[in-house]
Amino acid sequence: MARIAVIGAGMGAMAAAARLAVAGHRVAVYERGATYGGAVRRFERAGFGFDTGPGLLHLPAVYRDLFVKTGREPLESVVELSQVDPAARHVFADGSAVSLPNASRAGVLAALDGALGAGAGERWSAFLGRARDAWDRTRRPLLEEPLWPDWQVLGRDPYPALPKRGLFGRRKPVTDASLADIAVHELKDPRLAALLESYALAYGFDPRSVPASAAVLPYMEQTFGSWYPRGGIRALADALYERCLARKVEFTFGAEVTRVVEADGRAAGVELRDGGVVEADTVVAGVAPQRLTALLRGAEPWGADDVRPDGDAHRRTPGRFTVALALRGPRPADATHRTVVHAPDRAAELGTLFGVGPGALCERPTVTVLRPDDPASRPDDDHEAVTLSAAVAPYGDLAVPSTAVADGDSGTAGETAAQAAAADRLVTAAEAAVPGLRERVLWRAVLPPAEGEAIPGPALAGAGGRFLRPANRTRVPGLYAVGGWTHPGGGLAHAGMSGALVAGLIVNGDDWRGSE
């Protein structure tokens, strides 16, 4: 039985901890905050509850496998999961709207044709067919297996090449297309383009630079469905924490790790802020790569030939600006769980997010509106909890210093002028999804990102490997990295898989290539 120290209690870290404990290891988790779950948080006040991180679960098979492998109780016995139908409603700049059914390709085709005109559904369906090809080619190396030693081959985009007319009318393939190129050349309708690009924005990607392989993002959602646990996504974090406790994983909160201890050329434990040293045979770090470098006293966790973390990624990757609204009046029976209200000026939004000063929000941003039909989210049936969110840069006037965010509560004591103005913009946009919204507001809470708190997206093939994540195995023997900023990247499903991959490497050895 090996002693394993886990740094951080995010979803990937807890997934690894539970699996390692079941394999017979003694696992101890050290979390500098007051609670678990990482970005999976919940804000509660006066009987209302709001998810302030991910709002829906996609690819639930990852967590079903985790709970089956770590105990006799399956996921559905500890979390009440339901499919969200329709999966989403999209409101476009011209006032048109479409509701997309959950996990029904034929239903989506019919809905798009009916809302956007004949041919829209066929173009989207053909696009999803090509996205499936990209998914089939990258599912194992970018989700189910440790990062390949010859990761350079993943720098080629698996999305089928776009035809482009060259000299003398000849058509030649374009193999370096971005997701925005796909939207223009294949979808042809600006509303379909906005629909596609919204998937990139949700993961903090600029559609103009992210490779065409990002087409797997809508493919995953529309193929495997959108799921909601009663009590919000935080209920999933609660269940995983309880599973860890049941498997004798030890948690220490308020315990900041300040150094990874090395001895004889390998990881040998962790040092805590209070000066205490915990010995361990293996260390699993569920922290961002920049922090892991600091824990190694400036040494690089990965070698020169490895995928290296982008040191400036946190400054270029958006965070999530959230507004929690407590509403008077019951939730209408026909209300949609998730509505995306698209920005009317694409260029202004992308320029603000990815090209202009940090922290700014364009005048009319793309806003996601969540209206769960969940009694656990409201004090009674005469009220409704609504969550609004938009992507913002995690620096500047809209972010708060990380030290000012209370542990376990991402709310602020009050709104700054910039935050209040941004919240007003989100509410204005959301009125397209919730008629009469302002008149129903009982109170609101502004939940800005902490400084540097960006949204990690999943690893993607193409673009020469720029969208891959550093490997779970580091150059230091006995030290492994887990979570959204390492392979296979961010998102609930990918974080859960990172835990499975780290546990597999530790239990089966560094030559392990993934489950068959």
Residue 170's pLDDT band (cuts 50, 70, 90): very low
How high does pLDDT run on average in the chain?
A: 91
Q: Decide: 195 and 111 in contact? Cβ < 8 Å.
A: no
**The predicted structure's pLDDT at residue 356:** 53
Write out pLDDT tens, residues 197-212: 999 999 999 999 999 9
- Distance linking the first and last C-alpha atoms of the chain: 25
pLDDT beyond 50 at 311: yes
97 vs 116: CA distance, rounded Å: 8
Q: Decide: 25 and 4 in contact? Cβ < 8 Å.
A: yes
50 vs 36: CA distance, rounded Å: 17
**The predicted structure's pLDDT at residue 134:** 96
pLDDT beyond 90 at 453: no
Domain locations in the chain?
3-40+58-80+230-312+456-508, 106-222, 318-447
Residue with tokens 């390709």: 105
295 vs 285: CA distance, rounded Å: 10
CATH class entry, domain 3-40+58-80+230-312+456-508: alpha beta
Write out pLDDT tens, residues 347-401: 999 988 887 555 578 889 999 999 999 999 999 999 999 999 999 877 778 877 7
Residue 405's pLDDT band (cuts 50, 70, 90): very low
Mean pLDDT of 441-457: 89
**The predicted structure's pLDDT at residue 171:** 43
Write out pLDDT tens, residues 456-482: 899 999 999 999 999 999 999 999 999
Beta-carbon contacts of 232 under 8 Å, excluding residues fewer than 6 positions away, are 42, 49, 50, 51, 372, 374, 376, 377
The percentage of residues in the chain with a pLDDT greater than 70, rounded to a whole number, is 92
> What are residue 148's phi and psi, to 5 degrees?
-65, 140
Write out pLDDT tens, residues 111-132: 999 999 999 999 999 999 999 9
250 to 24, 26, 398, 481: CA distances (angstroms): 14, 8, 36, 19
Q: Name the least confident of 100-109, 160-169, 425-434.
A: 160-169
Check whether the bond before 488 is cis (ω within 30° of 0).
yes
**The predicted structure's pLDDT at residue 516:** 52
Write out pLDDT tens, residues 141-162: 999 999 999 999 999 999 987 6
Measured from the Cβ of residue 352, the count of other Cβ atoms closer than 10 Å reads 23
pTM, rounded to two decimals: 0.94
Beta strand residue intervals within 8-119, DSSP E: 26-31, 42-45, 48-51, 57-58, 81-83, 88-91, 97-100
54 vs 68: CA distance, rounded Å: 23
323 vs 390: CA distance, rounded Å: 9
Write out pLDDT tens, residues 58-115: 999 999 999 999 997 899 999 999 999 999 999 999 999 999 999 888 999 999 999 9
Structure token digits, residue 84: 């969200």
**The predicted structure's pLDDT at residue 399:** 79
Q: Which helix (H) or strand (E) holds 226?
A: strand 226-229
Q: Decide: 70 and 55 in contact? Cβ < 8 Å.
A: no
- The angle at the Cα of 507, spanning 502 to 509, to the nearest 5 degrees, equals 85
